[in-house]
Chains A and B, each alone.
Chain A
C-alpha cells in the first residue's frame, strides 16, 4: 500500500471512530445538531408570516453555519481532550500512525456528521414551517458548503491542540460560541459591529463562508469571499501545524502536558 493510500485509510478510520464516539454519547449531538438549529430556524424564519426568499436564504445559511461552528467548538475542538479523559491520548501520541492524520480524520468525522444531522434537522423544520427555500446556484452552494466544512475541520484541529493546554475546555468552548456568531454576522448584520471590531471579523473564515453562501443562494458568485475563505483556511492550516508541533513537543520533550 502506498503511503498516500495508508494516510487516507488512517484518516478515514479516524473519521469512522469519531462518528461512532459521537453516536455513543449522542446527547451532545442532539443538542447541537437538532435542538439548536431547529430553534434558531423557528425564530429566524418561522416568526415572520411571509418572509422574502432572500431573507429565508440568508437565515438558512446563518443557522447552518451557526450549528457547524457550535459542533466545531464543542466536539471538534475536544477530540484530543476526550482522548485524555478516556486515557487513550498517550497511545495515540506514541502510536505508529501519524497523530496528525488521526486528528484530521477525526475532525473530518465531526464535520461530516454535523453536516448530515444539521441538514436533516433543517429540512424537517422547514417542512414543519411549510417554508420553501430557493437555491439560486446549486453548484456554488455545494462548493461553498464543501469549503466551509474543510475550514471548520482545520479550525477544529487547531483548537483541539490548544485545548490540551487547559482542563477547562468546556468553559472555553462556551466562551467561543457567541463571539464568532456575532463577529461573522451569521444571524446578525455585520453593520451592528463597532468599526474597530470589523477587522477581527475579516480574519475569521466563517464570515467569508457566510458571505459566499448567502450570495450563492441568490445565484451570485463572490470571488472575494471565495479567495478569503480559501486563504484563511490555508493560514489556519499553517497555524494548526505549528500548534500541533508545539503541543507534541510539550508532551514528548518537556513533559508539561498531562496525558491522563
Chain B
C-alpha cells in the first residue's frame, strides 16, 4: 500500500476515533459501560456456577467474551448509523463507491474498546471469584480473543448493513448478542434445543471460545480456531456484500438506506 493510502487509512481511523469519543466520552464509559462489562461477566459467571451441574471455570471463561459482544454486536453499528443520522453518506459517496476498508478503519476504536473491556472484565472478575490464575491464562490468549473480536465486529457490521435502512440496528445487534449467549456455548456447553446449538456454529465467538477452552485444557484446538477464521471471513464477506448492495442500490435506483 502506498504511503498516501496509509495516510488515508490513518486519517479515517482518527476521524473514527473522534466520532467515537463524541458519542462515548471516556469519563461516561468508564463509570457506566466498563462497569457494565465487568458486572455482566460476573453475573453470567455466577449464573453458570449456580446452575445444576454448572462449572465456575467454564462459565468464567465463556463470560469474558461477552465484554467483546457488548461492544461489537451493537455499538459498532453506529459507524454506519452515524452517517445516516448526520446525513453525510452522500459526501462520502462523492469520492466513489464506499469501501468496507473505510468503514472498518472507522470501527477500530470499537474493537479497541471491546478488548479493553475484555481485559478489565477478566481481571476484575478473576479477582472477585478467586480465579486470578485462570484470568492470567485467559489474557495470555489475547491474540485469539482479538481474532474473535474481529469476527464479532464483522458480524455486527454485516447486520448493520441490513438494519440501517430499517432503523433496526439496536434490535439486530442485541439479537446477535442474545443468540451468542444462548447458542455460543458461553455459560453452558449446550442446551436442550438442538436447533439452537446448530445455529451457534455460524455465530462469531463460539468456535474461538472452543479453541480457547481447548488450549486451556490442553486439548486439540487448531480446527476450532480455523473455524473461527472461517466464520470471520464469512461475516466479513456478508458485510462487504451488504455495503456494496446498499451503494449500488442508492446509485442506480435512488433509494438510499442512509437517507
Contact = CB atoms under 8 A, between A and B. Distances in A.
Contacts of B40: 178
Interface string A155-198: 00000000000001001101101110110000111001000000
A189 B51 CA distance: 10
Interface in B48-90: 50-53
Given A31-B171, A36-B178, A48-B53, A172 B46 contact: no
A260 interface: no
Contact of B181 (A28, A43, A48, A171): A43
A178 to B, nearest CB: 4
B178 A28 contact: no
Contact of B178 (A27, A35, A187): A35
B191 A188 contact: no
Contact of A47 (B36, B167, B191): B191
A139 interface: no
Contacts of A188: 43, 46-47, 50
Interface in A41-57: 42-44, 46-49, 51-52, 55
Interface in A19-78: 27-28, 30-31, 35-36, 38-39, 42-44, 46-49, 51-52, 55
A128 interface: yes
B36 A44 contact: no
Max count, chain B CB within 10 A of own CB: residue among A172, A175, A189? A175
Interface stretch (B12-20, B27-35, B107-115): B27-35
Given A31-B170, A168-B32, A47 B188 contact: yes
A171 B190 CA distance: 32
A129 interface: yes
Nearest to B36: A174
B206 to A, nearest CB: 14
A44 B170 CA distance: 25
B219 interface: no
A27 B39 contact: no
B136 interface: no
B196 interface: yes
Contacts of A179: 39
Given A31-B171, A188-B43, A175 B35 contact: yes
Nearest to B38: A178
Interface residues of A, number: 34
A39 B168 contact: no
Interface in B167-192: 167-168, 170-171, 174-175, 178-179, 181-182, 187-188, 190-192
Contacts of A42: 182, 191-193, 196
Nearest to B34: A175
Interface string B138-156: 0000000000000000000
B104 interface: no
Given A35-B178, A43-B181, A129 B47 contact: no
Contacts of B105: none
A76 B7 CA distance: 47
A177 B36 CA distance: 8
Contact of B182 (A39, A49, A52, A168): A39
A51 B50 CA distance: 13
Contacts of A44: 47, 51
Interface string B115-149: 00000000000000000000000000000000000
A188 B179 CA distance: 21
A75 to B, nearest CB: 13
A175 B32 contact: yes
Interface of B: 28-29, 31-33, 35-36, 39-40, 42-43, 46-47, 50-53, 167-168, 170-171, 174-175, 178-179, 181-182, 187-188, 190-193, 196
